[in-house]
Amino acid sequence: MGRRAGSRCRGELPQQIEPRVGVAGMKSRPGILVIGPTPPPHHGVSMATQALLESDLARQFNLSLVDLADRRGIEHVDKPDLFDVLLFVKQWWQVIAKLILRRPRIVYLAISQQLVGFSRDSLFILPSILLGKRIVLHLHGSNFRNWYDDQSPPVRGFARFIIRRADRVIVLGDSLRTLFEGLLPPDRVSVVPNGIPWGTTSALTAHGPAPRPFRVLYFSTLSSLKGIFVLLEAIPSVLQVRRDVEFICAGPWFRQEEQTKAMGFIHGNGLDRFVTFTGAVTTAGDKQRIYESADLFVFPGVQQEGQPLVVLEAMAAGLPVIFTNRGCLRETVIQGHNGWEVPLHDSDAIARRILWFMTHAEARAEMGRASRLRYEQAYTREQLVSNLSRVLKSSLERHSRLAGAVASPVGKSGVSTSVVGD
């Protein structure tokens, strides 16, 4: 399963993803410039970019990529330095070159929701606007409106200018459409839920009595913002009632000081034999085995989220989910159907729910089956690609209608005979 207290399991890193674009037929297919990161590191944005590039969209569109990935790892996120500046300059020139040489009709970009990232993104968007490209922006979070409202009037004005030049903005759930209220008409905000690849799962038959302890899984970056300390603080309350339980915490630590604090809490409360840290999990096989060895998934997120891939992975593995109201999770995990919501920062509520699942094996198994069914119905990679394709084609069709309206002959009344709609 893994070693205790801070040990790491290692696997091979996947090679850089390249779009499957051949020479034949390139001129007959509309071009799309994809600006975004590919794994590693693995997170929602990079996984969505990977899904797009590896999909059959390459048969419908002439895809080209400017990769924004910083291969140094997740520990460098939100820590800009000279390397980031040099990397941006390189990426900016790549964008300019591909805009001129590839002449794409659409520029697709995952938009940031913090000042430095949005400023960088705008410098990719501005030349695309000047060259008359259709802009499709993809928001993978849910904090954009909070960020926008907190900015000074000049920054808000600039952000408004950039957003209004987008032909489409994609959000992860219906509840997130309001993030762009007053910035874009509703018909230019599209919903594309995340989707992940996942094979058949053995977890659906693994919820009966077993000789091992009941296994609770946390799988994410180990950070206070992701709720790791809320979960750790729930463990003593669980152990006061039941001792036949273990907690698996999978993922890398975000900050060394938080790891030190967590280890101190675990040692100080005698939790060492109940908590396992696997470290970063870098292969799909290892990830699937960890999920399918668990009985229950806990996502106690504190910061705003979009639609965390780890929740979709847990659902794909047939696990019920304990979650907090972050991003669009309320429309992803259905209360009482395939999981239970707990309040933010409430370790007591998490402990009570864990104990409930431990004592209701039949309900737990039923919720696990419901999770898998919801995954199959809405959150597969195939559905993600289909939804993205729909939005991209819609943008191209709108562009064609607008171009046709401009080029259409004018009748005797002086009014264009074309009707322009969205």
Portion of the chain with pLDDT greater than 70, in percent: 84
The hierarchical CATH code for the domain 203-378 is 3.40.50.2000
Task: Note the pLDDT of residue 284.
Answer: 87
**Is 72's pLDDT higher than 90?**
no
Quickly state the pLDDT bin for 264 (edges 50, 70, 90). Answer: very high
Over range 40-48, report the average pLDDT: 79
The neighbouring-strand residues paired with 63 are: 32
- Give residue 210's pLDDT: 53
Tell me: pLDDT of 222 over 90: yes
* CATH 3.40.50.2000 location in the chain: 31-195+381-406, 203-378
Cα–Cα distance measured from residue 95 to residue 84, given in angstroms and rounded to the nearest whole number = 16
pLDDT, average across residues 213-239: 98
Closest of 120, 58, 136 to residue 396, by C-alpha: 136
Pairwise CA distance, residues 301 & 313, whole Å: 16
DSSP secondary structure string for all residues of 137-193: EEE-SS-HHHHHHTS-HHHHHHHHHHHHT-SEEEESSGGGGGGGTTTS-GGGEEE--
The Cα–Cα gap between 368 and 315 comes to 7
* Residue range 31-195+381-406 in CATH 3.20.20.370: no
Quote the percentage of the chain above a pLDDT of 90: 72
Q: Which residues contact 75 (CB under 8 A, 6 or more apart)?
A: 252, 254, 255
Strand order in the sheet with 134-139: 62-67, 31-36, 106-111, 134-139, 168-171, 189-191
Q: Kindly state the average pLDDT of the residues 31-41.
A: 90
User: pTM score, two decimals?
Assistant: 0.84
C-alpha distances (whole Å) from 225 to each of 222, 264, 277, 345 are: 8, 18, 18, 10
229, two tokens: 């300390």
Tokens of 251: 């993922």
Mean pLDDT of all residues belonging to the chain: 87
Greater model confidence, 264 or 78 = 264
Residue 330 has pLDDT above 60, yes or no: yes
Residue 261 has pLDDT above 80, yes or no: yes
Give the mean model confidence (pLDDT) for residues 256-267: 98
User: pLDDT band at residue 362, thresholds of 50, 70 and 90?
Assistant: very high
- What pLDDT score does 79 carry? 65
Mean pLDDT of 197-216: 71
CA distances to 26, 128, 201, 248 from 113, rounded to whole Å, are 34, 20, 35, 31
Determine the distance from the C-alpha atom of residue 202 to the mean position of all C-alpha atoms in its chain, rounded to a whole number. Answer: 25
